[in-house]
């Protein structure tokens, strides 16, 4: 048997989990099948790689040697595969667009505009709550563009080396049931919600910290924050159990209203990202233009936010220098 990278992955998984059983679960294999594979690897290498007893599996001297090599070879091969996937493709047109979004309000509009501009192109989407996951997928060549939101003046992690452009800067509104005493207000002071319970969708970034800081500036600490998906957030607000922060572009369903927070204490920036060395970088300006147009289309369907933007010109669609 010739040793392959998949065999090195098995050795690393056993060493990291300390157990053949746990490694089998991590790799999606049956424990007897992984045991048999380990035995074949050991026969190929000429000796046992692990000492196994009731306390688990510990590398032998030979096992430590194999692990040392594996921990160099596996990342190197992964890096090669990522580079190849990212740099693959030549020519003057994009034949496929792989777009990721983290709770982005304009993915549908962007896809619609890309499809209209290039009917022959293949377009796929991927959703995640986590901007870092999407950035890693761009880095690994599995996505071409990502749409993520960040609060205030924060920027996505620079560790991924992506290029970012701002699509829009939006105020953060509050979502209330129509029966709420503040539902008829033109705007809501955050301090007036000091006794409210809150509900939010999951996600990463600093938005939770920004919200807590805004509440502190208004003189209170949020009582309780439930976490659930978007549909669950809507249900919680509709039931009167909680209120929620929401993107200003959100069009409320019957039974709910959205209202601006006085003095706009929270801002949300929508960003488009891509890898600067990938083929996608050549067409980023075109995609950014489609993203801004999709945003403007969405705002055009939301009269409440249109009126608010007219009185707050720093907000809305943006096309600025890279961040």
Question: In which residue are the tokens 């990463």 written?
Answer: 204
Check: CB of residue 134 under 8 Å from CB of residue 102. yes
- How does residue 87 score in pLDDT terms, banded at 50, 70 and 90? low
Between CA 18 and CA 63 the distance in angstroms is 13
In the numeric block, which tokens belong to residue 265?
A: 């204490």
| Same domain? 173 vs 239 | yes
SS (H, E, C) the chain: CCCCHHHHHHHHHHHHHCCHHHHHHHHCCCHHHHHHHHHHHHHHHCCCCEEEECCEEEECHHHHHHHHHHHHHHHHHHHHHHHHHHHCCCCCCCCEEEEEECCCCCHHHHHHHHHHHCCCCEEEEEECCCHHHHHHHHHCCCCCEEEEEEECCCCCCHHHCCEEEEEEEEEEEEEEECCCCCCCCCCECHHHHCCCCEEECCCCCCHHHHHHHHHHHCCCCCCCEEECCHHHHHHHHHCCCCEEEEECCCCCCCCEEEEEECCCCCEEEEEEEECCCCHHHHHHHHHHHHHHHHHHHHHHCCHHHHHHHHHCCCCEECCCCCC
Question: What's the start-to-end Cα distance of the chain, in Å?
Answer: 51
Average pLDDT, the chain: 88
Between CA 207 and CA 307 the distance in angstroms is 25
State how many domains the chain has.
Answer: 2
- How does residue 78 score in pLDDT terms, banded at 50, 70 and 90? confident
CATH number of the structural domain spanning residue 24:
1.10.10.10
pLDDT attached to residue 209: 83
Domain boundary among 44, 60, 87: 87
Q: Comparing 43-52, 80-89, 137-146, 257-266, which segment has the lowest mean pLDDT? A: 80-89
In the numeric block, which tokens belong to residue 180?
A: 């709420």
pLDDT attached to residue 251: 81
pLDDT attached to residue 161: 86
Q: For residue range 252-264, list pLDDT tens digits in order.
A: 789 999 999 999 9
| Same domain? 11 vs 113 | no
CATH number of the structural domain spanning residue 233:
3.40.190.290
pLDDT attached to residue 92: 62
| Same domain? 154 vs 36 | no
pLDDT attached to residue 67: 93
Q: For residue range 2-52, list pLDDT tens digits in order.
A: 888 889 999 999 999 999 989 998 888 888 888 989 999 999 999 999 998
Domain boundary among 64, 87, 110: 87
| Same domain? 134 vs 193 | yes
Q: For residue range 189-247, list pLDDT tens digits in order.
A: 999 999 999 998 887 666 778 899 999 999 999 988 899 888 899 999 999 999 999 98
| Same domain? 53 vs 154 | no
Entry pTM: 0.69
- How does residue 85 score in pLDDT terms, banded at 50, 70 and 90? low
| Same domain? 32 vs 173 | no
pLDDT attached to residue 54: 84
Average pLDDT over residues 148-169: 84
| Same domain? 71 vs 109 | no
| Same domain? 231 vs 96 | yes
Average pLDDT over residues 276-281: 90
Between CA 64 and CA 49 the distance in angstroms is 8
| Same domain? 292 vs 146 | yes
Domain boundary among 87, 120, 155: 87
pLDDT attached to residue 320: 57
Check: CB of residue 160 under 8 Å from CB of residue 112. no
| Same domain? 189 vs 240 | yes
| Same domain? 197 vs 275 | yes
| Same domain? 133 vs 211 | yes
pLDDT attached to residue 89: 47
What residues make up the domain containing 311?
91-323
* Burial of residue 60 (number of CB atoms within 10 Å: 0-12, 13-18, 19+): middle
Residue 321 above 90 pLDDT?
Answer: no
């Amino acid at each position: 048997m010739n040793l392959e990278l998949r065999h090195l992955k098995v050795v690393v998984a056993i060493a990291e989990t300390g157990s053949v059983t746990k490694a089998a679960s991590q790799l999606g294999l049956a424990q007897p099948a992984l045991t048999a594979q380990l035995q074949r690897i050991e026969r190929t290498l000429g000796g046992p790689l692990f000492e196994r007893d009731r306390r688990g599996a510990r590398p032998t001297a030979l096992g430590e040697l194999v692990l040392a090599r594996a921990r160099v070879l596996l990342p190197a091969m992964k890096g090669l595969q990522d580079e190849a996937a990212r740099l693959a493709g030549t020519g003057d047109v994009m034949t496929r667009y792989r777009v990721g979004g983290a709770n982005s309000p304009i993915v549908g509009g962007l896809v619609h505009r890309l499809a209209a501009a290039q009917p022959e192109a293949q377009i796929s989407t991927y959703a995640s709550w986590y901007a870092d996951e999407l950035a890693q997928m761009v880095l690994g060549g599995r996505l071409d563009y990502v749409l993520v939101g960040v609060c205030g003046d924060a920027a996505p992690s620079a560790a991924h080396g992506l290029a970012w452009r701002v699509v829009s800067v939006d105020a953060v509104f509050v979502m209330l049931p129509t029966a709420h005493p503040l539902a008829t207000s033109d705007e809501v002071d955050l301090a007036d919600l000091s006794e409210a319970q809150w509900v939010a969708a999951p996600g990463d970034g600093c938005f939770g910290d920004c919200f807590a800081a805004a509440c502190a500036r208004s003189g209170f600490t949020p009582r309780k924050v439930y976490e659930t998906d978007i549909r669950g957030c809507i249900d919680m607000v509709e039931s009167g159990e909680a209120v929620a922060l929401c993107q200003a572009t959100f069009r409320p369903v019957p039974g709910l209203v959205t209202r601006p927070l006085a003095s706009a204490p929270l801002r949300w920036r929508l960003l488009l990202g891509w890898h600067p060395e990938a083929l996608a970088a050549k067409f980023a300006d075109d995609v950014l233009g489609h993203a801004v147009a999709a945003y403007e289309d969405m705002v055009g369907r939301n009269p409440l936010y249109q009126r608010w933007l007219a009185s707050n010109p720093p907000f809305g669609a943006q096309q600025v220098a890279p961040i």
